[in-house]
């Protein structure tokens, strides 16, 4: 289905990191649309009758999902079920933003859309259930899997990139170097989704910035961009004793045209425009 107008798009979860880059459509947040409440979801989506719903609302804190699995499944799985049912009732297409965490990281090489998911933590499982719900209920959908997402600026960014930027004021920063992945700049993700819905693209796509890196590689790049004199010390991931297990490899490639500009270019643009 080709979109007639971006004004006919409803977006959930605009208060989040990715949502901060949405500059079109009907914007909703958890105050105006509680996706875990079926009757409210049906009422709000029924009121606006959008052609497309971009479903961003999610619990994305991987470690919180491990500590509070009920919340993870309520928001990421049941919430998605509610959105899918409301969309089906009005005939809307759903764009569901998923994650590379649907994979367990055991593959040698990059993950493609054709690879079979096998999540290793509650966050990944709750998001994969969301994928299955979308595919099971709707005929017209787009699932956009993202990699290590960054963006949102000082207000919204509570993930790795923001933490490193803030820590570079210290003399030494310890950074994990034993995991590899693909970065996804949230602004590039939104721009790609906008292009795909206008073109009427459906199915499954991996959206990531070109190339792959370790967290340590990212920290080195940030240090260079920020002209910091901090010493970066590589450490094993066990050093931080996190609640959720992480994959050894979250590298993504795309068979369906979802790879965008190189991660170094995207990271530099993000820091230059939102942090410096």
Residue ranges covered by each domain of the chain: 6-156+181-212+251-261
Which pairing describes strands 180-181 and 213-214: parallel, antiparallel, or unpaired? antiparallel
Q: 6-156+181-212+251-261 maps to which CATH number?
A: 3.40.50.720
- 198 vs 193: CA distance, rounded Å: 9
Q: What is the pLDDT of residue 244?
A: 66
Provide the token pair at 244: 């959720």
Q: Which residue has the tokens 């055991």?
A: 106
Backbone angles phi, psi at 93, to 5 degrees: -85, 145
Q: What is the pLDDT of residue 3?
A: 81
DSSP state of 77: I
3-state DSSP assignment of residue 262: strand
Q: In 3-state terms, the chain is what percent helix, strand and coil (to 5)?
A: 45, 20, 35
Q: What is the pLDDT of residue 47?
A: 98
Q: What is the pLDDT of residue 100?
A: 97
Q: What is the pLDDT of residue 236?
A: 87
Q: What is the pLDDT of residue 138?
A: 98
- 23 vs 194: CA distance, rounded Å: 10
Distances, alpha carbon 137 to alpha carbons 35, 86, 130, 217, 264, in Å:
16, 10, 11, 40, 38
| Residues of the chain scoring pLDDT < 70 | 1, 242-245
Q: What is the pLDDT of residue 240?
A: 74
Q: What is the pLDDT of residue 42?
A: 98
Q: Which residues lie closer than 8 Å to 41 by C-beta, 6 or more apart?
A: 33, 34, 35, 79, 82, 83, 85, 86
- Are the C-beta atoms of residues 51 and 95 closer than 8 Å to each other? no
């Amino acid at each position: 289905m080709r979109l007639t107008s971006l004004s006919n798009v409803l977006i959930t979860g605009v208060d989040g990191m990715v949502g901060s880059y949405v500059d079109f459509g009907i914007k909703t947040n958890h105050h105006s649309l509680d996706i875990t409440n079926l009757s409210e979801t049906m009422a709000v989506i029924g009121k606006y009758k959008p052609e497309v719903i971009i479903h961003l609302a999610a619990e994305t804190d991987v470690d919180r999902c491990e500590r509070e699995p009920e919340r993870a499944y309520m928001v990421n799985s049941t919430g998605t079920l509610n959105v899918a049912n409301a969309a089906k009732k009005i005939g809307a297409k759903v764009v569901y933003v998923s994650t590379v965490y649907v994979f367990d990281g055991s593959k040698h090489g990059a993950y493609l859309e054709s690879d079979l998911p096998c999540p290793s933590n509650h966050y990944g499982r709750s998001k994969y259930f969301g994928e299955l719900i979308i595919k099971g209920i709707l005929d017209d959908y787009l699932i956009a899997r993202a990699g290590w997402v960054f963006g949102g600026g000082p207000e919204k960014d509570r993930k790795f990139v923001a933490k490193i930027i803030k820590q570079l004021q210290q003399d030494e920063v310890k950074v994990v170097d034993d995991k590899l992945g693909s970065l996804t700049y949230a602004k590039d993700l939104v721009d790609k989704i906008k292009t795909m819905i206008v073109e009427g693209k459906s199915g499954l796509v991996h959206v990531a910035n070109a190339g792959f890196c370790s967290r340590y590689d990212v920290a080195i790049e940030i240090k260079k961009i920020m002209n910091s004199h901090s010493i970066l010390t590589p450490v094993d991931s066990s050093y931080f004793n996190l609640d959720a297990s992480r994959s050894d490899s979250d590298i993504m490639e795309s068979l369906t045209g979802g790879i965008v500009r190189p991660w170094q270019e995207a990271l530099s643009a993000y820091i230059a425009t939102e942090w410096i």
